[in-house]
Amino acid sequence: MTNLAFMSDLHLDSNQFTDEDITILIDLLKKKKVDHIHFAGDLSNDFEHISLPFLQKLKKSFSVSYNLGNHDMLGMTEDDIQQHNFNVQSFGQTQFISLAGWYDYGFVPEKTPEEHKRTKQFFWFDRRLNRNTDDPILTQQTLEQLERILTSLNGPIILAMHFVPHKDFLYNHPYFQRFNAFLGSQAFHNLFVKYGVKDVVFGHLHHRHSARMIDGVCYHTRPLGYIRKWQLTQQFFEDYPQYKISQMYRLHKRYNAVKDLSLFQSYKKKHLQKELEDALIIFDI
């Protein structure tokens, strides 16, 4: 029996993870008797100087693996990205595949590729990445490589990726719907159904959902995301309403208003393990 655990979207730099925070995470994983921990993308914006030392620290206590997210790709060449892409491991009879994934604009079909490129260039983080192939072509190449792997495997399959593989998890808010184009591709789900993939873990959206079965594929997404959206941050304002600001819907502003308070720092320390636990997915295999 192996306790295979997953987390995504830790954003160690943006969330200003301290050594003490990492110790809290390690203690949680030990408490849960985790044997192997996999990170499904977006550890940080600096893979070499922040993500790798973090991974090395965890490797002292656990077996560790990861796949890249778009933030991890910052500063990498395409060759660098591909060296970190696609990994297959076996846990008993279960085959575990990990990859980054990508997007093909198919979640917003009413706009042209040129419109999507303009939106990406003006608004989206990925404009900063050094990917030299058009997004739909890159996604198709990724799908072809994934299918070659899937055809070669026998036994139950668990798959981890960063990007979104099904339309049921997209943004509903009218302002954000245009960004669905850069979240993933339904073509991944179609492959999962075709090859009987049992469980899929992904992140990227920063919204946590209960496990959801779609066409025989069980999807798991519980990204940690940015601290301004954490449950403990929301609960802090409920417990200490005197710190509420007039624009509470501005998550960045309300977090900035309290982040340096000793009271908030103490509150975070007290509740961080619970926040991390809520973002943890574990399979017993």
The pLDDT value given to residue 176: 87
The pLDDT value given to residue 52: 97
Q: What are the beta bridge partners of residue 38?
A: 6, 65
- Predicted TM-score (pTM) of this structure: 0.96
The pLDDT value given to residue 264: 98
The pLDDT value given to residue 130: 93
Q: Quick: pLDDT tens for 131-166.
A: 989 999 999 999 999 999 999 999 899 999 999 999
The pLDDT value given to residue 241: 98
Q: Collect the ranges in the chain with pLDDT lower than 50.
A: none
The pLDDT value given to residue 174: 85
Neighbours of 78 (CB within 10 A): 14
Q: Quick: pLDDT tens for 6-43.
A: 999 999 999 999 999 999 999 999 999 999 999 999 99
What tokens appear for 145 in the block?
A: 């490589």
